[in-house]
Each structure stands twice: as structure tokens, then as C-alpha cells.
Amino acid sequence: MIANHLFGACLPTFGNCADRYCLSGYGGGGANMQEMLDLARQVEGLDGLELVGNWHVNDQNIRDVAKMFSDRGLKISMLVPDLWTQAKWGKGSLAAPDTPTRRAAVDEIKKVLDWAAELDCPYIDVWPGQDGYDYAFQADYLEAWKWLRDGLIECADHNDKVRLLVEYKLKEPRTHCFVNGAAKVLLLLAGIDKVGVLLDVGHAMAAGENAPEAAALLASYGKLDYLHLNDNYHCWDDDMMVGSVHLVEYLELVYWLKRVNYQGWLTLDIFPYREDGVRAATECHQWMEAFFRAVDRIGMEAIAEVIKQADACTSSQLVRKALSL
């Protein structure tokens, strides 16, 4: 737990993280799911983990996976349909230029919705990361928008036990993803009440957004369902540990999470390429607890009072006081 929130992590935190240069990974982490789960349990306060279809879970191992989790007292916080780990999704999933691939994407999502129901997992995360384009004159933006909406509408009603969330990102793996920001995803989901949003804090930052503002906006439209936590240096999804760069932005984010009464998971989506996964996740946990303590120390009303003044010097004092400097 972090404050009153369930605290999770993506499973690869405890595996062997690779990038496009070092495809075999930087080493460390568990060699299989059992080992990764055993590592995860060493993280103080960790309540559950996210799994990616194909990478971690499939029709064959789903029962085993459930047991591995229950044996260790861990929840499955999220299932992520595999719409991005295989070459077949390379030109898109829900908005692929060809009909069969779009069809396959919808089927994949429905299948994972059912898996999630079976596993008592409350959410699935549709991340249309391959849905976009790399070059000019390579996408029909209006068709793609319609395909995305049609696909999501079809999936929304498939299984009422599980809420489908959409995760946005500016770029990577495409140079341009269609669903690239908080306002864009809200526009996309207008009128599709059953579908919510997963806010990846680092995606917001890398998209040039101010994460606290993105969180407030999503919440005001009833769609702040789930959070991915990580940090980066802007411009790219570095998937670094919480607390590494944007301390002030995180502090303000925690204020807004409390302000909009966010009740959901706080789940790490970090890539500790060269770090020990257990220690990296533990660091993030400590930072998040520190931010919650800092906000509590100042108090919600006192902060609201500062915001009302709209005075940068007063805001600066608030931050320094919150951080005990």
C-alpha cells in the first residue's frame, strides 16, 4: 500500500530489461514468472502485478498463473492485451490499415477481457502503441480515428465484470501514436462511458503535458481509473524510478489525486535496465510515501489556499516547506 492505495508493478520490473541495442537484456531479475513473483514479494508494500498477454499469460498457463499469484498473496492488478509484442501488430492493431488485423485486435481484447474476469482482475489496459504512423502520407487520420472508436465500442460491452482502459502515449514504438494525450483520449472516448483511461505519468510528461493537470482533467471527465508511475527527462519515455527528476510535479500530482479522490492503484511502470528490480521498486515506494506524507504535512486546505493565490512565490515557499528544506 501507499497511503490508502493498492501498490503494484509491471512484472518486467523483476525480469531482465532489454532495449534495441542489448536485445538479450541487461541481466538480473528472475528467469521465469515464479522467480519474478518471488522477487516482487520482497518489495515492501507491493500488493499486485500487471501481466502482458503473450509475454506472461496465455491460454495454456492462465490457471498456473492464477495459482502462482494466490500462493504468494499477490493480486493481478491489470492484464494488458498483447497488441504490440509481435510483428503482426507492427502496422497497427485496432487501427491497422487492414481489416483482418483490426478484427484480430478486437478478438484479442475480448479474449483478455474474459481472462481478466476469470482471474478476478478488474481492468485490462488497451495500449494502442502500434496504432499510429512513422512518416508523412502514411496514415488516414480520419479512418484511423473511426476504427479506434468502433473497436473500442465493440469491446466495451463484452464483459461487464472488467473495465477496459485506454493508455495514451505520444510516440514509441511509432514516431506518432494516434492516442497521444489526455485530451485526445477523452475526445476519443466521448460517449463511450464504459471505457476508462490509464494515465501513465511518464507518458504525460513525455507528451509535454503537466501530469497533475492531466490527472485533474481525466478525473473531471470521470475517467481517471488507474495510474502508471515512473519518471523521465521529458521528450522520451525513459521509464525511470519515481523521484529521479520531477519531484515538484509528483508532489503536485499527489495533491490532485487526493483532491479528486482517486481511489485506484498506484502501479509502477519502470524499466530498471541496469538496476536491481526489487531495490528500484522499493525506492519508488519510498518516494511515493514521502510525497503523500509531504502533502499531508501541509494539509489539503492549506495547499488549496496557496493555489487560489496564483502567486509563484507563495507556491515556491509551499514546495520548499513540503520538502522540509
Compute CA distances 72 → 1, 11, 15, 225, 268, whole Å. Answer: 16, 14, 17, 26, 19
Residues 199-218 binding a second copy (CB under 8 A) are: 207-208, 210, 212-213, 216-217
Site membership for a second copy, residue 299 (CB under 8 A): no
Smallest gap from residue 71 Cβ to a second copy (A): 28
Is the bond leading into 173 cis (omega within 30 degrees of zero)? Answer: yes
Smallest gap from residue 120 Cβ to a second copy (A): 27
Smallest gap from residue 244 Cβ to a second copy (A): 5
Which of 59, 73, 100, 190: binder of a second copy (CB under 8 A)?
190
The nearer residue to a second copy, 180 or 267, going by C-beta atoms, is 180
Q: How many Å apart are CA 128 and CA 46, to the nearest integer?
A: 27
Question: How is 43-95 classified by DSSP, letter by letter?
Answer: STT--EEEEEBTTTB-TTTHHHHHHHHHHTT-EEEEEE--SSSSGGGTT-STT
The nearer residue to a second copy, 124 or 295, going by C-beta atoms, is 295
Q: Which stretch binds a second copy (CB under 8 A): 32-40, 105-113, 117-125, 185-193?
A: 185-193
Residues 44-103 binding a second copy (CB under 8 A) are: 84-87, 89-92, 97
Q: Which stretch binds a second copy (CB under 8 A): 31-39, 113-121, 179-187, 193-201?
A: 179-187
Which of 100, 142, 261, 301: binder of a second copy (CB under 8 A)?
142
Half-sphere exposure of 33 (CA within 13 A, CB side): 22
Residues 145-174 binding a second copy (CB under 8 A) are: 145, 170-173
**Residues 179, 185: contact at Cβ < 8 Å?**
yes
The nearer residue to a second copy, 31 or 136, going by C-beta atoms, is 136
**Count of residues that interact with a second copy, criterion CB under 8 A:** 107
As to burial, measured by CB atoms within 10 angstroms (0-12 exposed, 13-18 middle, 19+ buried), residue 151 is: buried
Site membership for a second copy, residue 139 (CB under 8 A): yes
Smallest gap from residue 321 Cβ to a second copy (A): 10
Which of 61, 236, 296, 300: binder of a second copy (CB under 8 A)?
236
C-alpha cell at position 305? 489556499
The candidate with the shortest Cα–Cα distance to 15, out of 27, 3, 1, is 27
Site membership for a second copy, residue 42 (CB under 8 A): no
Site membership for a second copy, residue 184 (CB under 8 A): yes
The nearer residue to a second copy, 8 or 132, going by C-beta atoms, is 132
**Residues 74, 41: contact at Cβ < 8 Å?**
yes
Q: How many Å apart are CA 146 and CA 95, to the nearest integer?
A: 8
Q: How many Å apart are CA 179 and CA 120, to the nearest integer?
A: 28
Site membership for a second copy, residue 104 (CB under 8 A): no
C-alpha cell at position 309? 493565490
The nearer residue to a second copy, 35 or 140, going by C-beta atoms, is 140
**Residues 241, 254: contact at Cβ < 8 Å?**
no
Residues 263-292: x where in contact with a second copy by CB under 8 A, - otherwise, as a string: --------xxxxxx--xx-xx--xx--xx-
